[in-house]
Amino acid sequence: MLLREHKDLKDAIIGIPPKEKDKLLLRLIAKDKILTEHLHFKLLENEHDLTRRHQALKEEIDEAMDLLNLDKRLSSKETLTVFRKLNGQINHHFKVTKGVNSEVDLRIYLLNSVPLVFSENVFPSLYKYQEKLTTYFLRTTLSVFKKYQKLHEDWQFDLQENFNALLNKVYNSKLAHAAEVMGLPTQL
């Protein structure tokens, strides 16, 4: 049931006394964790808190990548698992803050950090994870590129160097042909 389809319900909600409306609103908000965090961010936090959240997520990406790189038997399966987890945290960050600029910056940072070279060609069972990782990596890169194009030109300028580093990473790997087919530019 959508509210816009029921004008009577909308009018009835508007007519509810303020105290009762506040109780209902608080009950509804309590059922949605993301909405609660978003309202907390919007009503109680400021630009400094956005910067703090952004930096904390970058540090978490660094820590996760350091742990991955310490593993002498680095595999695409473990990398894909960590990559998806961190990408999910960036999704959560975006849902809470609604900051497209910080989302694009964090995704570029993550994509630049993810390793793409593995020595597991001898293990056919792990090869499927390498294919999944490269597909996920390229799709995420393409998605970030589309969002990058929609950013204000000042933000594009600020992110251009990091995005070019990402494109250079892609085109200097075995992903070059697939990236070209997907329509990713070689440079911005």
Q: Report whether pLDDT(186) > 70.
A: yes
Q: What pLDDT score was predicted for residue 63?
A: 93
Q: Report whether pLDDT(2) > 80.
A: no
State the Cα angle at 85 between 83 and 89, rounded to 5°: 115
Q: Report whether pLDDT(78) > 60.
A: yes
Between 36-40, 61-65, 72-76, 104-108, the lowest mean confidence (pLDDT) is in 72-76
Q: What pLDDT score was predicted for residue 176?
A: 87
- Alpha helical stretches, state H, the chain: 7-14, 18-30, 33-44, 47-70, 76-97, 100-113, 124-150, 153-171, 176-182
CA dist 115 and 29 (Å) reads 40
State mean pLDDT over 10-37: 83
Count of all residues that appear for the chain in the document: 188
Q: Report whether pLDDT(120) > 60.
A: no
Between 3-7, 55-59, 133-137, the lowest mean confidence (pLDDT) is in 3-7
Q: What pLDDT score was predicted for residue 92?
A: 92
Q: Report whether pLDDT(123) > 70.
A: no
DSSP SS3 for 20? helix
List the domain boundaries for the chain: 47-182
Q: What pLDDT score was predicted for residue 83?
A: 93
pTM of the model: 0.83
Range 146-152, long-range pairs (CB < 8 A, 24+ positions) = 147/100, 147/103, 147/104, 147/107, 148/104, 148/108, 150/100, 151/100, 151/101, 151/104
Q: What pLDDT score was predicted for residue 126?
A: 63
State the Cα angle at 53 between 48 and 57, rounded to 5°: 145
CA dist 50 and 41 (Å) reads 8
Q: What pLDDT score was predicted for residue 105?
A: 94
Mean pLDDT, the chain, rounded, equals 86
